Amino acid sequence: MKRIFYILIFTCIYSFHSCTDKYPTDYTKDLPFGLEYNMTEHEAHTIVDSLARAGIVELYCEERNGFSYKFLHDDEEIALSASLRFYNDSLYEVDVRRNGIGKQGDGKKHYLAAIDFFKSQKINLASYKKEHDGISGKYEFDYKKYPYEISLYATDYSLYGLIMVFSNTQITDLLYKKELQFRREVRMDGESFCESIMGLSVGIYKATITDAGFLVIGVRPINNPNFDYFAQSYLEQALNAGIQIKGCFVVDIDKSTWLNGAVKGERIGKAYR
């Protein structure tokens, strides 16, 4: 009998340890909509589907990584859009934003609405360390509980006015480092491309890819041709060559300043990806 008792105790302890390893009890309310960090896409989609069937959220054309949600704040219905992000089939970020353009002077109202949203989702902010950017004069907060973080932007001038990002900073930091490495590799390839298009015969005196990811071409304009078309042509050439850039700018080589990773000067031609 005593042996059976110890076996039961061991089983309970082992089961509890296994559960807390997979779903730590103090982290289960860190995400809204009943989601949990490290869920697979299938697990997360199962929850989103159940919310959609209950009429709580509305899917975007069967895209279960994005949906809309509405809640009441001070008798006002607020519409939010949510996006789920996965890395290696593991949920690491939920981005929630207010639909529509935020009006000026509504920063405090957006912030109070966010607090109501947290309460409605049973997200306890007491366990987080709050950091406030007082210099900006905006209602911007970061709630940190390593490695998890809730970033709240409730500003007067944001396009949305209210942005809430729930993220695992271990993954976001990893992805950021990978992106930096990718940009370094792109820049190396970009240098070769820039060298290949320069020449007096084509009227390109200098070319570079900036840190912001734009191809900048320096020319000496004569008779004011359509440099937007010129920029579009070289943007397409760069993309076809496998160079990942956001767009192409044309500047007057004699009226621009070329820095390390940036170019200052009027854009006389523009093309965007």
How high is the pLDDT of residue 217? Answer: 95
Instruction: Choose among 202, 181, 174, 198: nearest CA to 258.
Output: 198
How high is the pLDDT of residue 257? Answer: 93
Q: Read off the tokens for 93.
A: 């970020």
Instruction: Report the share of the chain in percent with pLDDT over 70.
Output: 78
pLDDT in tens, 29-53: 789 999 999 999 999 999 999 999 9
Q: How large is the average pLDDT for residues 117-142?
A: 78
Report CA-CA distances (Å) from 46 to 75, 216, 266.
31, 46, 51
Q: How large is the average pLDDT for residues 202-222?
A: 90
Sequence-separated (6 or more) residues with CB below 8 Å from residue 81: 66, 67, 68, 69, 96, 97, 99
Strand, coil or helix: 168: strand
Residues 216 and 257 sit within 8 Å (Cβ to Cβ) = no
How high is the pLDDT of residue 62? Answer: 66
For residue 54, pLDDT over 90 is answered with: yes
How high is the pLDDT of residue 192? Answer: 85
Q: How far is CA 35 from the centre of its chain?
A: 18
Mean pLDDT of the chain: 80
Residues 268 and 227 sit within 8 Å (Cβ to Cβ) = yes
Torsion of CA 130, 131, 132, 134, to 10 degrees: 140
How high is the pLDDT of residue 184? Answer: 64
pLDDT band at 226 (very low <50, low <70, confident <90, very high): confident
pLDDT in tens, 144-177: 988 999 988 876 654 457 889 999 999 999 988 8
How high is the pLDDT of residue 86? Answer: 95
How high is the pLDDT of residue 177? Answer: 85
SS3 percent helix, strand, coil of the chain, rounded to 5, is 35, 35, 30
pLDDT band at 202 (very low <50, low <70, confident <90, very high): confident
Angle at 172 between CA 132 and CA 176, to 5 degrees: 105
Q: How large is the average pLDDT for residues 116-133?
A: 84
How high is the pLDDT of residue 93? Answer: 95
How high is the pLDDT of residue 172? Answer: 92
For residue 270, pLDDT over 70 is answered with: yes
Element at 3 (helix H, strand E): helix 2-22
Residues 205 and 218 sit within 8 Å (Cβ to Cβ) = yes
Report CA-CA distances (Å) from 243 to 91, 190, 192, 246.
30, 6, 10, 10
How high is the pLDDT of residue 102? Answer: 47
Instruction: Choose among 129, 161, 133: nearest CA to 143.
Output: 129
